[in-house]
Amino acid sequence: MSENSDPLLALRSAIKSRATITFSKDGAPVPSLASATHIDLSPSQSYARATPTRWKKSGSGNEGYTLDALYLVFQLQGASGGEYMKQARENGMTVGMVSITERKAVLDYLEGRISDHPSIIQEDAGKGDGSAPAGAATSPQKRRHYVPDAKDVQVVKRMRQNEVELEDRHTVLRGQKLNDFTNLRNIYADKLKKLKDASKTGAAVPAPPSPKARVQGAPIILVSSSPTALVTMYNVQRFLGESVFETSQEARANAGNNRPPELIHIYRKVDIPSNDGTTSMRQATRRYAVYDNAEKMPPDGWDRVVCVLTTGQAWQFRPYKWSEPRALFHHVKGMHVSWANDPPNPKIADWNVTEIKIDKNRRHVDKSTVAHFWRVWTTGWA
């Protein structure tokens, strides 16, 4: 089958050749897949986004994924599982998106790391003559030795090649590599023996050393230095610390029009597990450092940066360790802050950032907005 007539091969060829893939609606170009009806792989190749492909869905017979579902796997390759599903729904994929467990295989095929996959329906798969032979005898006959038809053998081979083993929530978590923990067991067997002997003799068991913190110093949040940014060094303290939003102009006026500090600390109370070995929780205060100038950070600053607030302007990242937005937001969490009634920003469509929407008038929703901000990326820090 030629690439011109097969959308799966055409998409793979366009991605491997790094061709510019665009979107259109009614023959006119549009900025994003969400508003498009067609995907233009080249000036001469345009497919409806819902065009079915030969990549078969798991557990759905011979129904294939649509072209836009496969393209979103490539476009959102750096996104986490939850972010991938969210972005897919925003691009119109309410159903039919590629499952989390199949993303890697689809991406490997589209980028040319593998040449085939069992889920790809072959062009001639399933063809064969299944009709009954003419002139079959109706009277009982002596049983003859069965001789398989050569055509049937080839069909069965192709069926076995395309066979997909069904997976459930248990088998999908099992690794294929067998790990041998014999060495580890031998190491701890000696330690356990010493502990048992010490308990029998009444000797004191030494306390284990306290684990080192994963990151030395406060986690860092970077905000934009743009005067048009909604969250700046003037109002970030009250917004993230007190869950109350006021514009930068208001905050600057309340501060006497002074220059903002180079560093602001925000303290937030979090629940962490108790040290008594039970499942109870205790409250602790966590400190975060906020900068709007990456060059003012300490030498180990980029090892501690956990979140970047952006207005969608790429110049903000020029002095950063990763000046390209896609590379930056592959390493740290990105937050795009805008007004709730602002239209979608096409520049950030493939930046892998989370939208933080601020209402201009309803201050009572600020608390839920800030809670969403902390919840999105702080899981695992406390």
Look up residue 267 and give its DSSP letter: E
pLDDT tens for 194-232 read: 888 877 765 554 544 443 334 468 899 999 988 889 999
Write out the two tokens for 149. Answer: 């038809």
Can you tell me the mean pLDDT for 3-23?
Answer: 88
What mean pLDDT, rounded, does the chain reach?
82
69 compared with 187, residue with greater pLDDT: 69
**CATH value at residue 274:** 3.40.50.11990
Q: How many domains does the chain have?
A: 2
Q: Assess whether pLDDT exceeds 70 at residue 236.
A: yes
Same domain, 106 and 227: no
At residue 74 the predicted structure's pLDDT band, cuts being 50, 70 and 90, is very high
Residue 145's φ and ψ, nearest 5 degrees, are: -70, 130
Q: Assess whether pLDDT exceeds 70 at residue 240.
A: yes
At residue 2 the predicted structure's pLDDT band, cuts being 50, 70 and 90, is low
Residue 92 lies in a domain: yes
Nearest to 99 by CA among 78, 121, 70: 70
Can you tell me the mean pLDDT for 288-305?
Answer: 92
pLDDT of residue 182: 83
- The Cα–Cα gap between 282 and 267 comes to 16
Can you tell me the mean pLDDT for 163-184?
Answer: 74
Whose tokens are 């031998």? That residue is 186
Write out the two tokens for 219. Answer: 């986690």
Amino acid 294 reads A
Pick the range with the lowest mean pLDDT from 213-222, 251-260, 273-282, 305-314: 273-282
Q: Residue 303 in 3-state DSSP?
A: helix
Pick the range with the lowest mean pLDDT from 2-11, 45-54, 67-76, 203-212: 203-212
Same domain, 224 and 363: yes
Q: Residue 316 in 3-state DSSP?
A: helix
Q: Which of 93, 110, 127 is the last residue of a domain?
A: 110
Q: Assess whether pLDDT exceeds 80 at residue 288.
A: yes
Residue 167 lies in a domain: no
Whose tokens are 């063809």? That residue is 127
Contact of 87 with 78, CB cutoff 8 Å: no
Q: Which of 91, 110, 129 is the last residue of a domain?
A: 110
At residue 137 the predicted structure's pLDDT band, cuts being 50, 70 and 90, is very low
Q: What is the span of the domain harbouring residue 345?
A: 220-377
Residue 60 lies in a domain: yes
Q: Which of 76, 110, 144 is the last residue of a domain?
A: 110
